[in-house]
Amino acid sequence: MVDILIIRNNCDDVSKYTNWFGKGLKEYLESKGFSVVDLSDADASPENVSYWLDSASKRVAKAVIAFDHGSPDAFWGEKNNQLAAVIDNNNVANLANGVHVYTFACSTNANNGVGQKAVESGCYSWLGYIEPAWILLSEYQPLKDCVWSYIVAMVEGKTLEECEATLVQAYKDRESLHWIFKTNRELLLLRKNQEGMKIITLTTE
């Protein structure tokens, strides 16, 4: 069993850069005392995601961090260097049960989408976007730092509400740099099944 699962494919021009968001993340999380599996590129397959997130086996204890394409009904990984749904409306009740999920992906938290269904089916929380999120097709460090801010807050032991506020503030602090920061901030949504949760304890305090 590990604490955190990272999912980040790398099979097209966009996921090349969302994959880069996760570069160095495993090492950072391990430096904070967490055990981590990083499913990157071809490893971000439906079979591997199912192996780690099957609720019957419970191989991931705390959280999923997912950088990739998304849609209202699925979060996408890859298979044979092509996009492939790895968490969708058909399997989310099993794969997201009993964990927190943080996504940088388009539309996974749309109304009646996969994020909402996840939380209704036993996922502790799902932070995502209600419409397509924006990136720059370059290794743009300010955006990576912004995306990481929620993760940093999680592993520092902050409540989900505090983590969300940290991410919102990170977007606001960078709005003068590019229009995508304001746009992405306005599309954020945190769904959760109770108040005051922390990923470290998985309890309310």
State residue 194's pLDDT score: 92
Per CATH, the architecture of 2-140 is what?
A: 3-Layer(aba) Sandwich (3.40)
CA distance 15 to 180: 17
**Exposure letters 121-130 (e unless 16+ CB within 10 A, then b):** eebbbbbbbb
Q: Identify whether the C-beta of residue 52 lies closer than 8 Å to the C-beta of residue 100.
A: no
Residue 160 has pLDDT above 80, yes or no: yes
Return the bridge partners of 5, or none. 37, 64
Share the mean pLDDT of the chain: 95
Angle of helix 179-186 versus helix 141-155 axis, rounded to 10: 40
How confident is the model over 79-128, as pLDDT tens digits? Answer: 999 999 999 999 999 999 999 999 999 999 999 999 999 999 999 999 99
Per-residue pLDDT averaged across 160-168, rounded?
98
CA distance 40 to 77: 9
